[in-house]
Amino acid sequence: MEKDQRLTPLPNTTVTDLQKDNQDYPTSYAPFYDDENFDDKRSVRQYFNIIYKRLPLILALTILTTAVAAFYMYRQPSVFLARTEMLIEPRKPKVQSKDSINIFNVANDANYASTQLQLLQNPDLMRAVVEGLGLHRQPNLLGNQNRGILASFRSIFSSDKTAENKDMALPVLTETSAAVTGVAADKIPLTPEEQERAGQYTGSFLSGLDVDQVERTNLVNITVKSTNPGLAAKVADKVAETFIEQDIERETKGAKDIYDELSKSIEDLKSTISSKEVELINVMSKGDLPLGEKGGELSASILQNLSGQWLGAIDERRKIEANYNAAVSANARGEGDNIRELTESRIYQETMRINAERKAKLQDTIREIDKQISTAENEKAQLLVKYTPEYYKVKEKEQQIAKLQENREKTEKEVTQLIDTDEKKIKANAISGALVGLRSQLESAATRENQLRATYLNEMSKANIQGQAETRLTTLKREIETQRSLLDNYTQRQKEQELAISGSRPDNIKVTAHAITPTSPIGPQRTRNIV
């Protein structure tokens, strides 16, 4: 085998010599070297000469690589670590629970602790922390952590002081963001950009989250790594606080669900009672029912009073009708003078008195005439004693007596006839007036009877309507009483459930030490990586 001189310096030969020598080389090299032959053909000096010849290139590459690595490492952001310490004790059984008398179960306690450690690393918990702190509204929160390789390489030769300042600053929490950091934050819908941003921040903080339990203790350390020291402390504390809130929510969820159902039932009962009371008032108003408790008794009393008045009006009308019919019959028989209403009439009595006075006056006039006639006859008798009947004075007396007698008869006849005529006329008018009066009384009594009858029937119809309304009213009252009884029962159960919620609130998880904003970074290890 020929000597391999591929790594040795070329001799100072001309091109012609090279061409001549090339013809002496084999057409190809062997695929491998024999170790023994290789050692025999290579010396340390040859290696040294090779390295020495390429020493500037090696030094240049070494210095350049070291400089680039150092520059790159110093361009990397510092990583800070914040730690929050929690105390997670075994669940304490309630005094009224039967578990309080059980023996302590170590296996259950270990499972409980392991479960809590896994829940502390739940992505949903970290997402709740991000949304609770309002970090999803900060578009440049992570800064350059999510840039690619080319961007990282370009950052070696460029600086972004604005981004650095933003990375080292905590997100500004306004009143609006602070108001939604509680339970109400879950109810505010996020925009698609905010949801995507929240997912990115959740993954970033979750990768820097570490949960460790201190050996042989119930203490748990929550560590969060971030390039923002203040944000790392905030996130660590918020993880502990949110975990405690979620643990309380999990432990009290059943009692709260029952409480919410009771509250909903109470509101429904209140609404039902209110609507029933409004319907009750409407039924009482439409049925003209009094609002008092004794409204039915009042309606019955009014109906009874109207019934008595109607029966009295019927009796009175019948009496007046009987008197009227009797008066008409008596008048038809010519016995109108016997009508009781006629004899009791003052007008009729006054008329009869006047007629009696006229008759008495007529009698006085007749007696005066009779007295004159008697005087004339006495004078005639005296004259006849002295004279004969043919004596003129006797004739004069006879004529005077005849004239007085004629006057007497005429006066008696005329006055008697006039009195009789007036009396008959007055009687006829009085009888007619009495009949008209009786008929008017009968019509008035009939009208009153009809009015009372209509009033009674109207009141009876109203009473029937009120009876139906009272039936509905009774049903509504019973329904309202039932609803109020249920309301009192539900209210009592709600108060008991409030006590159950406060009693079931866990107190075995606490924050024993809040995170302190770190001042010195834990990485990256620039010196180690450079060296």
Q: Is 428 in the same domain as 361?
A: yes
402 versus 339: the higher-pLDDT residue is 402
The first and second tokens of residue 259, run together, are: 């409480």
Mean predicted lDDT score pLDDT of the chain: 76
242 occurs within a structural domain: yes
Question: Is the separation of the CB atoms in 337 and 343 below 8 Å?
Answer: yes
The first and second tokens of residue 205, run together, are: 């903080």
Cα separation, 269 vs 25, in Å, equals: 110
Q: Is 452 in the same domain as 307?
A: yes
Position 212 pLDDT exceeds 90: yes
Q: Is 258 in the same domain as 399?
A: no
489 occurs within a structural domain: no
279 occurs within a structural domain: no
What does the pLDDT average to over 53-62? 88
Q: Is 248 in the same domain as 393?
A: no
Q: Is 134 in the same domain as 257?
A: yes
Which of 157-171, 272-286, 456-470, 485-499 is predicted with the least confidence, judged by mean pLDDT?
Answer: 157-171
Number of other residues whose CB lies within 10 A of the CB of residue 434:
24
Cα separation, 144 vs 155, in Å, equals: 9
Task: Say what the pLDDT of residue 166 is.
Answer: 44
Task: Say what the pLDDT of residue 488 is.
Answer: 92
Categorize the per-residue pLDDT at 177 as very low, low, confident or very high, splitting at 50, 70 and 90.
very low
What does the pLDDT average to over 321-336? 74
Instruction: Measure the N-to-C terminal CA separation of the chain; round to a whole number of Å.
Output: 45
The model's pTM: 0.50
Cα separation, 493 vs 501, in Å, equals: 12
Percent of the chain beyond pLDDT 70? 72
Q: Is 187 in the same domain as 302?
A: no
Q: Is 329 in the same domain as 193?
A: no
Determine the structural domain holding residue 417 and report its residue range.
Answer: 295-473
Give a three-class secondary structure readout of 312-346.
Answer: HHHHHHHHHHHHHHHHHHHHHCCCHHHCHHHHCCH
Check residue 97 and report its DSSP letter.
Answer: S
Position 293 pLDDT exceeds 80: no
The H or E element containing residue 226 is strand 219-226
264 occurs within a structural domain: yes
329 occurs within a structural domain: yes
Written as one string, the DSSP assignment of 236-281 is HHHHHHHHHHHHHHHHHHHHHHHHHHHHHHHHHHHHHHHHHHHHHH
Q: Is 336 in the same domain as 200?
A: no
Chain segment 142-169, per-residue pLDDT in tens: 665 544 445 544 554 454 444 444 444 4
87 versus 417: the higher-pLDDT residue is 87
Number of other residues whose CB lies within 10 A of the CB of residue 79:
17
What does the pLDDT average to over 116-136? 91
Please tell me the total count of domains within the chain: 2
- Characterize the bridge pairing of strands 80-88 and 209-213: unpaired
**By three-state DSSP, how is residue 375 classified?**
helix
What does the pLDDT average to over 23-39? 47
Q: Is 400 in the same domain as 519?
A: no
Task: Say what the pLDDT of residue 342 is.
Answer: 59
